[in-house]
Amino acid sequence: MIKSINTEKYQNFLIWLKAGRLAKGLSVRELAIIIDEPFQFISKIETGQRKLNIHEYVQYCKALNLDHVEGLELFIMS
Domains and CATH numbers, the chain: 8-77 (1.10.260.40)
Q: Round to whole Å and give the CA distance between 62 and 5.
A: 22
- The answer to whether residue 33 scores a pLDDT higher than 90 is yes
- The answer to whether residue 30 scores a pLDDT higher than 70 is yes
How large a percentage of the chain has pLDDT more than 70?
A: 95
What pLDDT is recorded for position 47?
93
Q: Round to whole Å and give the CA distance between 33 and 71.
A: 22
pTM of the model: 0.88
Nearest partner of 5 among 64, 63, 49, judged by Cα: 49
Q: Round to whole Å and give the CA distance between 40 and 33.
A: 11
Integer CA distances (angstroms), 59 to 3, 19, 52, 64, 77, in order: 22, 16, 10, 9, 22
Question: Mean of the per-residue pLDDT values for the chain?
Answer: 92
